[in-house]
Amino acid sequence: MKDLQDLQQYYEQTLCDRVFRYSLANGTLIDVIFYREAFCHLLGIQHITKNRRFIGQNGYERIRSGKLTVNTLKSMNRAGFGKVKHRMEHFPLIGHLMEHGDLFRFYPERAGRTRIQATFLIHQEEQELYLHLFLAKESPKSSIYAPMSYIVLTERDDNPKLYIAGQEHKKVIELEILPMNPQTAIK
């Protein structure tokens, strides 16, 4: 497994500072923006540390400085680390997921007893992996969505299709990956 600094570098170079703009068949635009402050949460670090000092901007800076590593997380809570290990191992698949995944309108009540309160879900099945990136709307009048959770399930999980069963598939007409700047960013 790569260390957290490697994953952070991937995150910055591949996902941050750009807008992933999905144009749907019904005319809806969905702009997805990855924030640096969300990195630790997407990795699931909150499930290991149970401490706010290790998420958000603080966690991001701890990773950058080398104070927070995979070994540090394992030593904090080996069982908690085991629960999110798949997220970290397969984190570098998010870029591919963004470009090739299927988009679903997500209804939490259809996914059993989930606490995930997302509006959309990007899903892809990749070599016995079920990748899920949940998106939440920034504000009621905006087309901006931010990734709020990344979950990786495998064929061996009890219900690997839990999050897509009964969800509403959305046809994407076009995906544009735009640099983040005032001219191309959100309209």
**What pLDDT tens digit does each residue of the chain (187 aa) get?**
679 999 999 999 999 999 999 999 999 999 999 999 999 999 999 999 988 889 999 999 999 999 999 999 999 999 999 999 999 999 999 999 999 999 999 999 999 889 999 999 999 998 899 999 999 999 888 899 999 999 999 999 999 999 999 999 999 999 999 998 754 444 4
The answer to whether residue 185 sits within a structural domain is no
pTM for the model: 0.93
Cβ partners under 8 Å of residue 131, min gap 6: 90, 93, 94, 97, 101, 123, 124, 125, 150, 151, 152
**172-185 in b/e burial notation, b at 16+ Cβ within 10 A?**
eeebeeeeeeeeee
Residues 29, 6: Cα–Cα separation, whole Å: 32
In contact, 113 and 143? CB cutoff 8 Å: no
183 is a domain residue: no
Nearest CA to 88 among 123, 129, 40, 55? Answer: 40
- The residue segments making up the domain with residue 29 are 4-177
Whether residue 168 lies inside any domain: the answer is: yes
- pLDDT, residue 182, reads 54
Structure tokens at 96: 């591919």
Determine, yes or no, domain membership for 187: no
Q: How many domains does the chain have?
A: 1
- Any domain includes 184: no
Q: Rounded to 10 degrees, what is the CA torsion of 130, 50, 81, 164?
A: -10
Asked whether residue 120 is domain-assigned, the answer is yes
Q: Is residue 143 part of a domain?
A: yes
